Structure 1
Amino acid sequence: MTEILCQWLNQDLKVSRTVSPKSFAKAFSSGYLIGEVLHKFELQDDFSEFSDSRVSSARLNNFSRLEPTLHLLGVQFDQNMAQSIITEKPGAATKLLYQLYIALQKKKKSGLTGVELQTMQPQTSVRLQNMKSEAFREQRLSRRRQNEIMAKIQAAIIQIPKPVSNRTLKALEAQKMMKKQKEAEDVAKEIKKFEALIKKDLQAKESASKTYLDPADQTAADLLNTYSDDDYIKKIQKRLEEDAFAREQREKRRRRLLMDQLIAHEAQEEAYREEQLTHRLMRQSQQERRIAVQLMHVRHEKEVLWQNRIFREKQYEERRLKDFQDALDREAALAKQAKIDFEEQILREKEIHEKIAVERAQVRYKKHYDMCGEILDQILDLSTKVADYRMLTNNMIPYKLMNDWKELFFHGKPIYEQATSKHEIAKSSAEQLVELEKRDLLDKNDYEEYKVYTDME
């Protein structure tokens, strides 16, 4: 597979760098050649901002720009795969290039451009891919920032020596005091020796001067006898001057020695005080450095917590967007189902309404039909009754009887008595009630006529 991909890259695409199976992982570790391949297919418009350097910032820039394009082609690409390619893990670059080769061949067959591919994608997936790419880029930046902070902390950490115990300090101080006492005793002995020598010299000089100054005559005679010129006097004067000068120099040396010893003692005391002060300052500075290191650790932890919080908030935001989209899809499905159910309910209610309307029309028709039939039967009964009486009475019908028939006709009561049969035995009570009503009606009519006649009389 690697040889096929190398042939495709070197011969078909003619990339800027020759790729071989041995250096395949190293060639694609920076992401520059992947961007060049996408640029040749007019999918990577920002290829001018890619860098062929192997610095971590350049690699991060390249892969962060590659991620949206790879997601647009449907190639699986995430942070783990990018890390595997950067670290030149065997097979990672080959797998990615094979997926890219398949996706580019499909695009070439379909003849779609990058803009058309992007417009064909759902808006939600595009938004999620953009958010993932931003999260990937920010996570890489945060990791890089954390590494830099850790490097600074490691550089700032100072190997603090262990403080000397109190016993050791006391022993050192005791040794220093003993040494100073011994030096002071040695200086005192030297001074005493020096003073004794000076006293001896003075005594010798005094005795010599006395011998020289005893009687003047004897001295002059001796001098005249011994020497006859002034050389001896000059030698004596010179010797006296040398002795005075030597005495003065010895006194100066003694004073200088005492001053040097005093200065050395004061310098030693000053060095001791400076050492104590330095020790205190070092101990204080060590504590300050320790506090500074702890503070840097706390700041680093705070930065890590802040970055984790941002990453978690982005994950929550992605989850909320996904839940919101799912809720919209569910609501759309529920609304569609509710619409279908409502239409079915309307159809059922419409059918029921039509059925009820038909039943009402049938009932109304039957009612009117029965009413018309009853009226027609009553008319036939009345006409038949009138015809029968006219045949019997030579067209003479009593007025009262005619009024009774009219009243029965107007009130819808049967003129003829109903014949009873076997199947109508159950209706005998109803017919009796009808007969009673007829009698009551006729009686009431007779009473009204009686009242009219009585009023007329």
Structure 2
Amino acid sequence: MTEILCQWLNQDLKVSRTVSPKSFAKAFSSGYLIGEVLHKFELQDDFSEFSDSRVSSARLNNFSRLEPTLHLLGVQFDQNMAQSIITEKPGAATKLLYQLYIALQKKKKSGLTGVELQTMQPQTSVRLQNMKSEAFRERLKNLIPRQTDFDLMRVAHRFEEKYRRMNEDVARMHFEKLERVQKLEEDQRYFNIEKQRLSRRRQNEIMAKIQAAIIQIPKPVSNRTLKALEAQKMMKKQKEAEDVAKEIKKFEALIKKDLQAKESASKTYLDPADQTAADLLNTYSDDDYIKKIQKRLEEDAFAREQREKRRRRLLMDQLIAHEAQEEAYREEQLTHRLMRQSQQERRIAVQLMHVRHEKEVLWQNRIFREKQYEERRLKDFQDALDREAALAKQAKIDFEEQILREKEIHEKIAVERAQVRYKKHYDMCGEILDQILDLSTKVADYRMLTNNMIPYKLMNDWKELFFHGKPIYEQATSKHEIAKSSAEQLVELEKRDLLDKNDYEEYKVYTDME
């Protein structure tokens, strides 16, 4: 409905102000456009008395003039509706304009003018309507706030808007500050995570280097040299020789046991005849047997000698093999010690590299921290410079304002002095001119009375009064005026004193001349 009314007002009636649905209530709050609409339909003859201002008196005037016309059209309109329209209550102006639109369309169809509508009403209704209009004006005057209240409300609304904007700015600044803090925290957290990741990666690399630097010393293989092989062969031969010697000893012991057993048996069981026969046989067979025994003894001695030689040779070979084994063991221990020392040196070198890397990381962190400190110092210095510049600018503005105020005061004092000087000179010139006129008038009067003959003494008195700035004519003539104006009495007394003094001076001059 608001769009239809806006189209009717803007296109059909073409009011002086474009009306939109958003500013509908504000446009009709003063009542000026309602009067313009009625004036276009020739119902508001006093439209020239309407005011487009938004002050309280203008609104009261407009709605007081609208009330009779609206009642003439049959539109429901009272002080409450007027107050709703003035206070821009939503829907109030739309409702009134809709009723006015319907009433104007009916009036247009009927073809009656405003004068005809007024003449059609009875006289009593006209008087009653006038009384209602007066009462409406009084009630509306009580309902409409004063212009000072409107101004105060407008100022309060403006400051409330300013306070709301300031709160919004503070909230936005606080939110932006929180966002910056969160962003800095996120950046710091990301930096710490990245730093931890890099440190963990470097630590893993260092541990890998340390693991790679650990030398796995292989187990020394058995010494397969020629001497060791010969020593093993000699030990094997020596063992075989010992086994053979043991077998020979066992065999000899068995033979001795057999011989002893045979001798004891022959002594026990043989009779004397057999014994003699055996003795005879033994005499014939002892030489062979002795030879065999000697031969066997020689062989045993030779074998024993050979065994001793072999034993000595085997012991020598064992001693040589033992010395070779000891030498190999010493070489192995020396190699192991050297390898272990080299491994420790490598481990120490890796640790030194790790310490150097940590030192470099600490140095880089220190440089980064110093850079942050430097940036913070520069920022603080820049903030201090900005504050000093702002203070200097404010001081300059205050100084300029003070200079302007002093200049205004100086100009004001100069103007006042010029006015005082001008007034003083003007009064002086006026007084001199008045005295000249008085003297001229006095001289002219006496010349007319005495045929151009003025006494010398009288002329001299007038000149003295003129030179001393005293009035020639008497200022007060009645006692009542003299009582009222004490200043004029003082002037007259001064005139008399001056004339008396002048007479005394003339008298002295005259007496001196005689």
Secondary structure at 1:44 match in 2: coil
CA distance in 2, matches of 1:53, 1:250: 153
Counterpart residue number, 1:85: 85
Task: Give how far 1:391 is off.
Answer: 4.2
- Tell me the SS of whatever aligns to 1:227: helix
Structure exhibiting the larger radius of gyration computed from Cα positions:
2
Contact kept in structure 1, 2:217 and 2:339, CA below 8 Å: no
Greater Cα shift, 174-183 or 371-380: 174-183
Alpha-carbon contact 1:378-1:415 (below 8 Å) kept: yes
Q: CA distance change for structure 1 residues 3 and 387 in 2, over 3 Å: closer, same or farther? A: closer
8 Å contact 2:234–2:314 — kept in the other structure? no
Which string of whole-angstrom CA distances, capped at 9 and with x for unpartnered residues, describes residues 278-304 of structure 1?
Answer: 999999989877766665544333332
Aligned counterparts of 1:119 and 1:168: Cα–Cα separation in 2: 154
Q: Distance in 1 between matches of 2:229 and 2:131?
A: 68
Aligned 8 A contact 2:476 2:488 in 1:
no
- Could you list the per-position Cα deviations for residues 195-254 of structure 1 after superposition, in whole angstroms to 9, with x for gaps in the alignment? 999999999999999999999999999999999999999999999998887666655555
Classify 1:26/1:443 alpha carbon distance in 2 versus 1 (closer, same or farther; 3 Å).
closer
> Which has the higher mean CA deviation after the structures are superposed, 182-191 or 46-55?
46-55
Q: Bigger shift: 5-14 or 316-325?
A: 5-14
Indicate how the Cα distance of structure 1 residues 222 and 70 shifts in structure 2: closer, same or farther if over 3 A, else same. farther
Please say which of residues 77-86 and 446-455 is displaced more in the overlay. 77-86
Q: Is the 8 A contact 2:6 2:19 kept in 1?
A: yes
Q: In 2, Cα distance between the equivalents of 1:143 and 1:302?
A: 16
Closer/same/farther in 2, CA of residues 155 and 436 from structure 1, 3 Å limit = farther
Secondary structure of 1:332's counterpart equals helix
CA–CA separation in structure 2 for the residues paired with 1:131 and 1:295: 112
Q: What is the deviation of 1:413? A: 1.9
Deviates more, 1:220-229 or 1:146-155: 220-229
Moved more, 441-450 or 376-385: 441-450
Moved more, 127-136 or 220-229: 127-136
Verify the 8 A CA contact 1:15 1:37 in the aligned structure 2. yes
Contact between 1:142 and 1:307, CA under 8 Å: does it hold in 2? no
> Quick one: distance in 1 between partners of 2:37 and 2:354?
44
Deviation at 1:372, TM superposition (A): 1.5
Q: Which stretch of structure 1 is more off in the superposition, 235-244 or 414-423?
A: 235-244
8 Å Cα contact 1:50/1:61 also seen in 2: yes
How many angstroms does 1:307 deviate by? 2.7
CA–CA separation in structure 2 for the residues paired with 1:199 and 1:3: 155
Whole-Å Cα distance in 2 between the matches of residues 176 and 341 of structure 1?
A: 119
| Secondary structure in structure 2 of the residue aligned to 1:162 | coil
1:440 counterpart (493, 497, 500) = 497
Q: Is the 8 A contact 1:153 1:293 kept in 2?
A: yes
Quick check: 1:51–1:58 contact (8 Å CA) kept in 2? yes
Gaps of at least 5 residues in structure 2 are: 139-195
In structure 1, what is the Cα distance between the partners aligned to 2:250 and 2:338?
A: 44
Q: Which sits farther off after the overlay, 295-304 or 379-388?
A: 295-304
Deviation at 1:374, TM superposition (A): 0.7
- What SS does the corresponding residue of 1:415 show, helix, strand or coil? coil
* Worse-matched range after superposition: 335-344 or 177-186: 177-186
Offset of residue 409 of structure 1 = 1.3
Contact 2:231 2:317 in 1 (8 A): no
Instruction: Give the TM-score of the pair, scaled to structure 2.
Output: 0.35
Q: Note closer, same or farther for the CA distance 1:159–1:415 as it changes in structure 2 (3 Å cut).
A: farther
- CA pair 248-157 structure 1, distance change in 2 beyond 3 A: closer
The CA deviation string for residues 39-83 of structure 1, in whole angstroms up to 9 with x for no partner, is 999999999999999999999999999999999999999999999
Shift of 1:398: 3.3
Alpha carbons of 1:231 and 1:388: their partners in 2 closer, same or farther (altered >3 Å)?
Answer: farther
Deviates more, 1:425-434 or 1:301-310: 425-434
Q: 1:49 to 1:271 in 2, by over 3 A?
A: farther
Change (3 A) 1:29 1:360: closer
Structure 1's 213 and 185: CA in aligned 2 closer, same or farther, altered over 3 A? same
TM-score by length of 1: 0.38
Residue 94 of structure 1 and its aligned partner are, at CA, apart by: 55
Name 1:147's counterpart in structure 2.
Answer: 204
Q: Quote the offset at 1:145 in angstroms.
A: 6.8
Q: Kindly tell me: are residues 330 and 434 of structure 1, through their superposed partners in 2, closer, same or farther at Cα, counting changes over 3 Å?
A: same
Preserved contact between residue 220 and residue 332 of structure 2 (Cα < 8 Å):
no
Residues 255 and 355 of structure 1: CA distance in aligned 2, closer, same or farther (over 3 Å):
same
Match of residue 305 from structure 1: 362
Partner of 2:26: 26
Cα deviation for residue 370 of structure 1 reads 1.7
Give yes or no for contact 1:160–1:286 (8 Å, CA) kept in 2: no
Alignment check: 8 A CA contact 2:6 2:21 kept: yes
Deviation larger for 429-438 or 114-123: 114-123
Report which stretch shifted further, 381-390 or 312-321: 312-321
Return closer, same or farther for 1:106/1:384 CA change in 2, 3 Å cut-off: closer
1:377, distance to aligned residue in structure 2 (A): 0.6
- Given that 1:35 and 1:66 are in contact with CA atoms closer than 8 Å, whether structure 2 keeps it comes out as yes
The alpha-carbon deviation at position 434 of structure 1 amounts to 2.9
- The DSSP-based 3-state class of the residue aligned with 1:229 is helix
Measure the CA separation in 1 of the matches of 2:197 and 2:68: 16
Distance 1:19 1:236 in 2: 164
1:10 equivalent in structure 2: 10
- Greater mean deviation of Cα atoms: 114-123 or 220-229: 114-123
**Residues 164-173 or 195-204, more deviating:** 164-173
Between the aligned partners of 2:132 and 2:276, the Cα distance in structure 1 is 124
Taking the aligned partners of 1:178 and 1:79, their CA distance within structure 2 comes to: 143
105-114 vs 382-391, which moves further? 105-114
Q: Is the 8 A contact 2:231 2:318 kept in 1?
A: no
Q: Which deviates more, 162-171 or 32-41?
A: 32-41
Task: Specify whether residues 428 and 190 from structure 1 end up closer, same or farther in structure 2 by C-alpha distance, changes over 3 A only.
Answer: farther
Segment of structure 1 superposing worse, 435-444 or 236-245: 236-245
Residue-by-residue CA offset, 1:404-446 (whole Å, 9 max, x unaligned): 3222212222222322799988973433433343344334434
CA contact (8 A) 1:25 1:88 kept: yes
Residues 79 and 136 of structure 2 are in contact (CA less than 8 Å); yes or no, is this contact kept in structure 1? yes
Residues 66 and 269 of structure 1, relative CA distance in 2, 3 Å threshold: farther
- CA deviations over 1:253-282 (Å, ceiling 9, x no partner): 555666677778889999999999999999
Q: What CA distance in whole angstroms lies between the structure 1 residues aligned with 2:130 and 2:348? A: 42
Q: Which moved more, 1:272-281 or 1:230-239?
A: 230-239
The match for 2:55 is 55
Quote the residue 1:423 is aligned against. 480
After TM superposition, give the deviation of residue 367 of structure 1 in Å.
Answer: 2.7
Where in structure 1 are there 5+ consecutive unaligned residues? none
Q: Contact (CA 8 Å) 1:25, 1:94: kept in 2 or not?
A: yes
